[in-house]
Structure 1
Amino acid sequence: MDLNPGVEKVFAALSSQQDLRDGAATTSLSSGITLFQNKKYKEAAAAFRMATAYKPDYIDAYNFMASAYLQSGKNKEAIDAYKISLQLDKSQDEIHVNLANIYIAEKRNNEAEKELKVAANLNPQSSLAPYTLGHLYLQTNRPKDAVDQFKKVISLEPKNGNGQYALGLAYNRLGQYDDAVKELKQAVTLKKDFALANYELGNAYAGQGQMEQAREQVAVLKKINTSQSNTLAKDLDKSISQPKIYSFNDANSSFGPYSTFGAATSLIILGLAAPSSSKDFTMQFQFDSGMDVGSVMTLSNWSISKASGGPGGIYNNGISLHQGDQISVSPVPKSVTFDPETSQATVTFSITQNEAGTGVIDPSHLVFKFSGTDVNGKQMDPNADEYDGFAGEPF
């Protein structure tokens, strides 16, 4: 049926007006994009709003508008723009993820989780939603759930490296260091100069007690030599460092762990001339870290022994003495005091002369060892938890 000429004119006019509005919307969008690229985010948002005024169902304009609001720190307005966009087209999985990221920034974790699950269902072949959801679970102390999400990421993108890194991170949180090392080694193999993965690999090695391998990752991070890797190298070095005996304070100690010949010395020189006489002596040690006061003052964390080789040498240089003349020191000190302000421990121990007054001791080969922890619960560095006068430095 033919339309009345008047009606046809109305339709033509309306069509022409719509074309004009669509053209104006496109022009506003283009203008907004240019402003956005020039980092004029407030003006860009206004241009995108104008585009939606000309064309209320302009999905791209709402999405760009949300981005401009985000750059301006206007999260509420960005959320509103994304919600309108999703009302127009709920199938935009990436927009659900974008909305979730804003919720995560605002600690609206339940809403974020909901959006990410929707995105994952909309596009099961995309790794973006499960990867983001996995990190949300890590942030909310749900590492087991994070493991499941990162395994999905790896199944979708097995050669990317990001999934292996994230899975290794989750295993570290769970204390499953063997699994973490496996995943993180693969991550740094798949992705060159992957500083974050090297950092986590160092932590995983430390969790296994493999401190040398952990320190190797510090060197790797320094070699990458970017701002990020250098910062991570410092953080890892601090994280894996263990407390050490820094030095022996001779001036504040009554026992001199030295002898002229580096061997047996008569107790008479130590002021023990009378048979069966006893005397207390002190050794003061300087730690390089803040130490746990209770741990330092626990006597069983200290030991005093005769050197048997290595950096500490051999007691009396391996020369056997008459059994009755050899004086043994108690393997546990008499007392320990500690100054947390200076990180100095003063160890008190006793030496007793034999009944004949002929006792001898090798002061330079008496090994003092501490096996406690610092304020963070870290065990002592096994390369600096002992001291004797022969070595002259902690070992």
Structure 2
Amino acid sequence: MAVEAAEKMFSALLAQQTVRESVANSSLSSGVSLLQKKKYKEAVSSFQQSIAMKPDQVDAYNLMASAYLQLDDKKKATEAYKMSLRVDRTQVDPRINLANIYIDDKNYREAESQLKAAILNDPANTLAHYTLGNMYIQTDRLREAETELKTVTRLSPRDANGYYSLGVTYNKLGDYGNAVTQLTKATSMKQDFALAIYQLGLAYSGLDKKDLAQDQLTTLKGIKTSQAVDLADQLSLSLATPKIFSFNQANSSFIPTFGPATPLYMLDMSFLNAPNASKDLTMQFQFDSTMDVASVTNIANWSIRRAANATTGSYVASNNDAIIAPLPKSVMYDSTTKQATLTFTISQNSSGTGTIDPSHLVFKFSGKDINGKLIDSSADEFAGIINEPF
């Protein structure tokens, strides 16, 4: 009699368990359907019903977390992933997804913990290594990023993204040669890979291969997507180097267009009948970029010399040549107008008959802009004979 009662109880419990599992699976299926229809709140309710019937249903927890993310509720999504991992700690995807939430919140310590646990459970999981490597890039742990991303390229040698991120790492390290190698692989594997093309342009710029950097800019401009257009604008700004834009005669006391054997009194009447007199004159230059104040006002970054090359021709000397200081006396810079005003000294000879060849004096700047970029060598000098920067 007792045996028969036990059997009936067991059968009832088994039937009840079967019903619970059936309801759990039905709710899970319903939740998936609602998720696909983007009815996220209703999907959450279905997943909760599934979990109520079967608390160890990891798929329900994970899918519920996805629904919460669509609802922009990262807190509840985090709780759902944690519940899933309590049921099965060997899962990898929930840990990666949880790490991405932590990364988004800049909780890098927790993100690293989840990703390392994922890798421990599945050492060959490319996504875990890739996510960890990119997190290391974000936090400037670049050598650790290099290690993880090398693993990615070994595990998935045909995936362009691994080479791209490794190239980004090398660019940040200033290792532009290796950056070019990795980014070239990335662009060869994935057509119109705008991000990689942009980084390749930066790498070529770092190697001072301006023509190749410009080629990447041209390629970006040809892609025509909004991302490529934005990246092209950024690369264009990055490749731009500061230049002397013009000479401002209106704000200068020196006249650089006068030719050979110009008497000093033609520049300033105070030189007339004034042997051994010295006079400070000015030249104002307009830059196309905001310059570094310390650099542009450092007189050692400027020079004044007599022309002697094919571009400018040669300074025409005379027996009465005046003395011209090779460095300016001072430099004033206005960052609002991007104008630098050089003050330099010219000295009369002992007989008061000094002459000069203003058009063949070359003024040169060798400094940098506010971003640390050196002046462009195609526009770092000025001579009156050309009357424009060169």
- Shared fold (TM-score greater than 0.5)? yes
Amino acid at match of 1:266: P
The 3-state SS of whatever aligns with 1:305 is strand
Shift in Å at residue 84 of structure 1?
1.6
User: Corresponding residue for 1:299?
Assistant: 299
Instruction: State yes or no: 1:337 paired with 2:337.
Output: no
Amino acid at match of 1:307: A
Distance in structure 1 (CA, Å) of the matches to 2:211 and 2:364: 22
User: Corresponding residue for 2:308?
Assistant: 308
Instruction: State yes or no: 1:269 paired with 2:266.
Output: yes
Instruction: State yes or no: 1:84 paired with 2:83.
Output: yes
Distance in structure 2 (CA, Å) of the matches to 1:26 and 1:390: 87
Contact 2:255 2:267 survives alignment (8 Å)? no
Matches within 5 A, 1:1-395: 4=4, 7-259=6-258, 263-271=260-268, 272-274=271-273, 275-309=275-309, 311=311, 313-316=312-315, 321-322=317-318, 324-327=319-322, 329-395=324-390
Shift in Å at residue 76 of structure 1?
1.9
Kindly provide the CA deviation profile for residues 182-238 of structure 1, in whole angstroms up to 9, marking residues without a partner as x: 211222122221111112112222222233322322222111221111111111222
TM-score w.r.t. the length of structure 1 is 0.90
Amino acid at match of 1:342: T
Shift in Å at residue 126 of structure 1?
2.0
Contact 1:305 1:367 survives alignment (8 Å)? yes
Contact 1:329 1:351 survives alignment (8 Å)? yes
Distance in structure 2 (CA, Å) of the matches to 1:140 and 1:181: 22
Distance in structure 1 (CA, Å) of the matches to 2:317 and 2:246: 31
Distance in structure 1 (CA, Å) of the matches to 2:261 and 2:188: 57
Q: Percent of counterpart pairs with the same letter?
A: 51
Greater shift in the superposed pair: 262-271 or 60-69: 262-271
Greater shift in the superposed pair: 61-70 or 362-371: 362-371
TM-score w.r.t. the length of structure 2 is 0.92
Distance in structure 2 (CA, Å) of the matches to 1:310 and 1:71: 68
Contact 1:263 1:315 survives alignment (8 Å)? no
The 3-state SS of whatever aligns with 1:285 is strand
Contact 2:323 2:349 survives alignment (8 Å)? no
Shift in alpha-carbon separation, 1:229–1:377, aligned structure 2, 3 A: same
Shift in alpha-carbon separation, 1:342–1:112, aligned structure 2, 3 A: same
Kindly provide the CA deviation profile for residues 112-142 of structure 1, in whole angstroms up to 9, marking residues without a partner as x: 1121112112222221111111111112221
Distance in structure 2 (CA, Å) of the matches to 1:133 and 1:113: 7
Distance in structure 1 (CA, Å) of the matches to 2:17 and 2:332: 87
Structure 2 unaligned regions, length at least 5: none
The 3-state SS of whatever aligns with 2:363 is strand
Kindly provide the CA deviation profile for residues 331-364 of structure 1, in whole angstroms up to 9, marking residues without a partner as x: 2112111112212111111222333444432222
Greater shift in the superposed pair: 38-47 or 352-361: 352-361
Amino acid at match of 2:344: F
Distance in structure 1 (CA, Å) of the matches to 2:188 and 2:356: 57
Distance in structure 1 (CA, Å) of the matches to 2:62 and 2:53: 16
Shift in Å at residue 24 of structure 1?
2.5
Distance in structure 1 (CA, Å) of the matches to 2:303 and 2:58: 74
Shift in Å at residue 284 of structure 1?
0.6
Distance in structure 2 (CA, Å) of the matches to 1:366 and 1:216: 36
Structure 1 unaligned regions, length at least 5: none
Distance in structure 1 (CA, Å) of the matches to 2:38 and 2:242: 49
The 3-state SS of whatever aligns with 1:325 is coil
Kindly provide the CA deviation profile for residues 8-51 of structure 1, in whole angstroms up to 9, marking residues without a partner as x: 55444444433333332233223322332333322222221122
The 3-state SS of whatever aligns with 1:228 is helix
Amino acid at match of 1:393: E
The 3-state SS of whatever aligns with 1:28 is helix
Kindly provide the CA deviation profile for residues 366-389 of structure 1, in whole angstroms up to 9, marking residues without a partner as x: 221111122222211222211222
Q: Please report the RMSD computed on the Cα atoms of aligned residues, expressed in angstroms.
A: 2.2
Distance in structure 2 (CA, Å) of the matches to 1:238 and 1:212: 15
Shift in alpha-carbon separation, 1:280–1:35, aligned structure 2, 3 A: same
Contact 1:306 1:366 survives alignment (8 Å)? yes
Contact 1:127 1:156 survives alignment (8 Å)? yes
Amino acid at match of 1:265: T
Kindly provide the CA deviation profile for residues 60-103 of structure 1, in whole angstroms up to 9, marking residues without a partner as x: 11111011111222222111111121222222212211111112
The 3-state SS of whatever aligns with 1:209 is coil
Distance in structure 1 (CA, Å) of the matches to 2:196 and 2:187: 6
Kindly provide the CA deviation profile for residues 312-335 of structure 1, in whole angstroms up to 9, marking residues without a partner as x: x2134xxx654x234452221121
Distance in structure 1 (CA, Å) of the matches to 2:44 and 2:307: 76
